[in-house]
Amino acid sequence: MASGPKSKQDRVFIKDGLKHYRKTYSRTEVRIGAVILALLGAIGVWVAYKGAHPDPSLLALDVVNPGQSASKAVVDRGPVPEGLALEGWKESGLRVYDPSNVYEKIDGREGYYKSFGFQRLYFLTLEQTDDPTTLVDIELFDLGTTENALGAYSGELGEGMKPEADATGVAHYAQNAFYMVRGRHYLRALGSADNPVIHGELEHIRARFSEALEGEPLPWAFQLFIGRLGLEPGALAYMSENAFGFSDFASDVHAGRLADETELFVKVCADAATAAAVAKQFQAGFLGYGKAEGPWVVDEYINTYSGAVPEGAWVVGVRGAPDAKAAVAGLARLKGALEGFPVPTPAAPAQKADDTEHAPSPGEPAYDESEP
């Protein structure tokens, strides 16, 4: 191990590190040094004081007193019912977000919900009195219409989940969570653990919101795909725009997936002439990925069959059928379900806000939209 110099004479640069060579010091220099030290001391005192007396307006605290916002103003509960906390639980402050500030709560998913007509988000937390780590976060989205609420719900439906549908809504449990659509509202209740205590609170939340939220008859697409075609709610998808990655013509498209992965889809148009024109656009879109084989387009990469045809004011189609036989059967099944089915009024074009972040796959269905 190397040792230091044995004597001052062995030092290369500084012979005596403590020796100074100035005989006198300038008074100005001393004064400037004293002023600098005084300023540093004053800054230290100011920092210590401000640390002990922070400005409350600068604090963005999420945890507030029950029934109060961060500014301690009473928040309008809107559709959120009272009595959500069971005995032994308590409610933490309700907060309401609108399109201008919802990014504060769901940054990264803002564009997704705005693509489904987002209007309000009501958020609150329930926690166990004796165990603050046992929590249930409640998110209630007001998305304007039942169709929008179902579209957002379908896009977040986990694999293997089987929703229960009744006349006015759909719902399902997922381990430590509960999801429900009633009318224009989409409810997400997320527990901190998967245990009986959380499950009991989730069941209570379901009961309270089922009573409080006004239900509406399910949209015509549910009546068609579930009532007439016999599909499960989890097999349905609603694409408000850019269905299958196509452009503006592929908006307001409803689809359902069969057991063999064949996807049946419909779009309602203003009249038969418009439906004929839109069907041609779908065919042209499918041809961008394959070649024509009779009335079908065969995807050149994965060898599946797709196509669309007009049926009165409807555009009806098949996407991703494993072979021509399945495509023909699927289209015939869809046309049969539409016999005598009343033609609904076409949806009005969605108005996009200038500040709305474009969702990469608006109306993303329960299955992976990148798949055929």
Tens-digit pLDDT profile for residues 131-177? 989 999 999 999 999 888 988 888 887 776 777 777 778 888 998 99
Residue 202 near residue 177, CB atoms below 8 Å: yes
Q: What is the pTM of this model?
A: 0.55
Length of the chain: 372
pLDDT higher than threshold 70 for residue 182: yes
68 contacts: CB under 8 Å, gap ≥ 6:
74, 75, 93
Measured CA to CA, the distance from residue 330 to residue 262 in angstroms comes to 7
Of 255 and 67, which is predicted with more confidence? 255
- Between the CA of residue 287 and those of 75, 140, 242, what are the distances in Å? 53, 41, 16
Take residue 161 and report the two structure tokens written for it.
């989940």
* Top mean-pLDDT range of 5-14, 67-76, 94-103, 147-156: 94-103
pLDDT higher than threshold 70 for residue 109: yes
Which pLDDT score is estimated for 240?
83
Which pLDDT score is estimated for 15?
58
Of the candidates 167, 279, 185, 281, the residue with the CA atom closest to the CA atom of residue 226: 167
Average pLDDT of the residues in 292-299: 95
Which pLDDT score is estimated for 93?
84
* Top mean-pLDDT range of 24-28, 229-233, 290-294: 290-294
Which pLDDT score is estimated for 166?
74
Average pLDDT of the residues in 47-68: 56
Which pLDDT score is estimated for 137?
95
Tens of pLDDT, residue by residue over 69-87, are 444 456 788 999 999 999 9
- Domains in the chain, please, with CATH? 89-212 (3.40.1000), 242-338 (no CATH)
DSSP state of 243: G
Place 321 in a pLDDT band, splitting at 50, 70 and 90.
Answer: very high
Task: Give the least confident one: 123-132, 185-194, 259-268, 357-366.
Answer: 357-366
